Amino acid sequence: MMKATRALISEIFSGSDGPGVRIECASTLRPTPGQYLLAQVESSQQILPVPLFIESFENATLVVPPPVPPEWFPGLELSLRGPLGCGFHLPSAARRLLLTDLGNHHGHRLLSLVNSAGHPLETVLLTDNPPSDLPVEIEVLPPKSLGEILPWADFAAFELPLHQLKSLRGLSGLSSLSEFPVHCEALIDTPLICGGIASCGVCSVRLNHGWALACKDGPVFRLNQLSEDE
């Protein structure tokens, strides 16, 4: 079983969409964008571990966007497992980044791509609910712009629950998900509870050629591999 790393909540900050946290931990714990950590509060009544996606790093501090459990507080010790799963594959040559959030996270989980790129990116975020603290250099457009702007992007990252796949395809104007270019990847918003050790199936994702588990095969998948049908 994967070894756990001890960590400490150093700050609860008020984000535009609820509280986020800063967590101090070993500097080696660095999930790539789209990967996740599982957090457990030791000696608590918390039964299931909490999946955490990182928005940015500040030296040995992880910045975790909302939502986080409301009972967490500064000074609380966590046990972290990970990094887990497969994240985005942002090409080093990419310069025009398209982010689309059709879920409930206001683009926060996708913004780690901007923060970790290591070079300037021209970025557009498609969402109906942008975070109020979004960097000014990121342009915001409504999701209905997808079909028009998709050809502009070198890389497109999406976040959505499975039931929104049809909506996404409709917004794109494409006739099927398999027509999305290979540089389009989607972070599937689904329960991530076992960290891949159980293959319990609650995070099952239908691909064109069979089933996958978001907890270990994802949660990021190439959009043209996903199936709308079950």
Partner 1 sequence: MNTESSCLDRLEISTPWMNAAGFLGFSPSSPAWPAEMGAFVTNPISLAPRKPALHRQVQPYAGGFLLHTGFPTPGFQAVLRQNVEKWKKLPIPVWAHLLPQTPEEIPGMIETLETIDNIGAVELGIPPGISLHSALDFIRAASGELPLMVCVGVDEIQSDWLPSIRDAGTTGLVLSAPRGILKASDHLMRGRLYGPAVLPLMLKAVCRLAQFDLAVIASGGVFSLADGETLLAAGACAVQVDAALWSNADL
Where along the sequence are the contacts to partner 1 (CB under 8 A)?
A: 1-4, 38, 40, 45-49, 81, 191, 193-204, 211, 230
Characterise 145 by phi-psi region: left (phi > 0), alpha (psi -120 to 50), beta (else): alpha
HSE toward the beta carbon, residue 8, CA cutoff 13 A: 6
Beta carbon of residue 154, minimum distance to partner 1 (angstroms, whole number): 34
> In this complex, which beta carbon is closest to partner 1, that of residue 72 or of residue 180?
72
Beta carbon of residue 164, minimum distance to partner 1 (angstroms, whole number): 15
> In this complex, which beta carbon is closest to partner 1, that of residue 43 or of residue 132?
43
Beta carbon of residue 135, minimum distance to partner 1 (angstroms, whole number): 34
Beta carbon of residue 26, minimum distance to partner 1 (angstroms, whole number): 17
> In this complex, which beta carbon is closest to partner 1, that of residue 41 or of residue 149?
41
> In this complex, which beta carbon is closest to partner 1, that of residue 16 or of residue 204?
204
Beta carbon of residue 126, minimum distance to partner 1 (angstroms, whole number): 25
Identify residue 62 by its one-letter amino acid code: L
* CA distances for 48 relative to 10, 41, 119, 193, angstroms: 22, 10, 37, 6
Beta carbon of residue 115, minimum distance to partner 1 (angstroms, whole number): 29
> In this complex, which beta carbon is closest to partner 1, that of residue 81 or of residue 169?
81
CA quadruple 108, 109, 111, 112: dihedral, nearest 10: 130
* CA distances for 132 relative to 15, 16, 42, 108, angstroms: 8, 6, 33, 11
Task: Report whether 134 contacts 190 (CB < 8 A).
Answer: no
Three-class secondary structure of residue 6 per DSSP? strand
> In this complex, which beta carbon is closest to partner 1, that of residue 45 or of residue 59?
45
